[in-house]
Amino acid sequence: MIDGSRRTIGWRSAIALAATVASILFTSVLATRSAWAQPNPLPSWNDGSVKQSIIDFVARVTTQGGPDFVSVPERIATFDNDGTLWCEQPVYFQVAFASGQIKAMVPKHPEWKSKQPFKAVLDKDIKALAATGDKGVLQIIAATHARMTTAEFSKSVSDWIGDAKHPRFNKPYTDLVYQPMLELLAYLRENGFKTFIVSGGGIEFMRPWTERIYGIPPEQVVGSSGVVKLEIGPDGKPTLAKLAKVEFVDDGPGKPVGINRFIGRRPIFAFGNSDGDLQMLQWTAAGNGARFMGIVHHTDAAREYAYDRKSPIGKLDKALDEGTAKGWTIVDMKRDWRAVFPER
């Protein structure tokens, strides 16, 4: 006897017991790495058909031996960003960034105070800005997104996103991500999905913060881009210069093209919120096997915003009709989300 307890067992039995306990623990460690059911995986989603459609889909594609099983490498999920993962009102946050940059650059460019499109940005004169058209937008992009290295641009984004606050909520923009979607991203990853952003926004505008905020690393961010060129400095040091020339617009019909170019496989799960996501959703739907197509419908003016068919930003019209007709999952923000933003 080693200790003082009265009931004793043999060494051999003790080792057998140890092996059994170890084996149970071992198995449970492995189990947690593959698909498994959490008690309540999506706490910020209200119970109902929308939440259930997500859980049912994940169960279908992760049930080994089931008719809809999808192997882990094929579990590709793509998410639009603006209006799907974070707020996009009253203007796309990247536009707020550009405006902030222009304001900050005025001391070096005093002529902007009387020159369009910069004057319109400084005066917050949306009509005058709209009147400058595509040319105006390109001039703003050139001034704020180009003629610098990729490293300089990345720093300017990080600086801004650390400082700037949303005009209505008075919070950092990265606090205006949707808590239910953060939970959905995590839930999918726990079930073997690889999560990607496929956004009309600038790829270099998103990458400095997507890993920290969404757990999505830079190499899983697809977006619009400008032309970038390798330059070798006099010291032999290479830099990448951002030119004032659009390379790729990852929006509408560009989304399946961007998915093909960057990911090289068709998603089985896609989420968007506007007509700019329609082709991504159609491309996802057109594959073989089980498919999930989701749309965030902004119906909550009290907690966030309410907009759809007539909105100049995030217009949701054709995709709402097609999604309804085809039985895609349509999130009614007011009804389906218990919380909108994370509590911070």
Residue 95: CB atoms within 10 A of its CB come to 19
Q: What is the pattern of x (binds a copy of itself, CB under 8 A) and - over residues 120-149?
A: ------------------------------
Inter-residue contact 176 to 166 (CB < 8 Å): yes
d(CA 81, CA 196): 10
Q: What is the DSSP string of 176-217?
A: -B-HHHHHHHHHHHHTTPEEEEEEEEEHHHHHHHHHHHHS--
CB nearer to a copy of itself: give 13 or 49. Answer: 13
Return the bridge partners of 231, or none: 239
Cβ of residue 325: shortest distance to a copy of itself, in angstroms? 12
71 binds a copy of itself (CB under 8 A): no
Residues 28 to 67 in contact with a copy of itself, rule: CB under 8 A: 29-30
Return the bridge partners of 228, or none: 242
> Residue from 20, 34, 49, 158 that binds a copy of itself (CB under 8 A)?
20
Residues 263 to 322 in contact with a copy of itself, rule: CB under 8 A: 263-265, 279, 282-283, 286
CB nearer to a copy of itself: give 15 or 131. Answer: 15
- Report residue 342 as tokens: 């994370």
d(CA 240, CA 242): 7
> Residue from 97, 178, 262, 292 that binds a copy of itself (CB under 8 A)?
262
327 binds a copy of itself (CB under 8 A): no
d(CA 344, CA 341): 9
CB nearer to a copy of itself: give 89 or 279. Answer: 279
Cβ of residue 257: shortest distance to a copy of itself, in angstroms? 5
Cβ of residue 44: shortest distance to a copy of itself, in angstroms? 26
- Report residue 268 as tokens: 């089985």
Cβ of residue 119: shortest distance to a copy of itself, in angstroms? 33
Inter-residue contact 116 to 128 (CB < 8 Å): yes
Q: Strand locations in 125-170, DSSP E?
A: 148-149
Cβ of residue 174: shortest distance to a copy of itself, in angstroms? 18
> Residue from 105, 217, 245, 303 that binds a copy of itself (CB under 8 A)?
217
325 binds a copy of itself (CB under 8 A): no
- Residue 85, classed as helix, strand or coil, is coil
342 binds a copy of itself (CB under 8 A): no
200 binds a copy of itself (CB under 8 A): no
CB nearer to a copy of itself: give 120 or 278. Answer: 278
> Residue from 56, 123, 163, 219 that binds a copy of itself (CB under 8 A)?
219
d(CA 96, CA 131): 19
> Residue from 98, 120, 176, 221 that binds a copy of itself (CB under 8 A)?
221
Q: Which of 145, 89, 95, 48 is nearest to 311 (CA)?
A: 89
Q: What is the DSSP string of 221-234?
A: EEEEEEEEEEEE-T
Inter-residue contact 220 to 169 (CB < 8 Å): no
CB nearer to a copy of itself: give 101 or 195. Answer: 195
Give me the helix-helix angle, 278-285 and 318-326, nearest 10°.
20
Residues 232 to 261 in contact with a copy of itself, rule: CB under 8 A: 232, 237-238, 240, 253-254, 256-257, 260-261
Interacting residues toward a copy of itself by CB under 8 A = 1-5, 7-15, 17-22, 25-26, 29-30, 73, 76, 150, 194, 196, 203-204, 207, 211, 217-221, 225, 228-230, 232, 237-238, 240, 253-254, 256-257, 260-265, 279, 282-283, 286
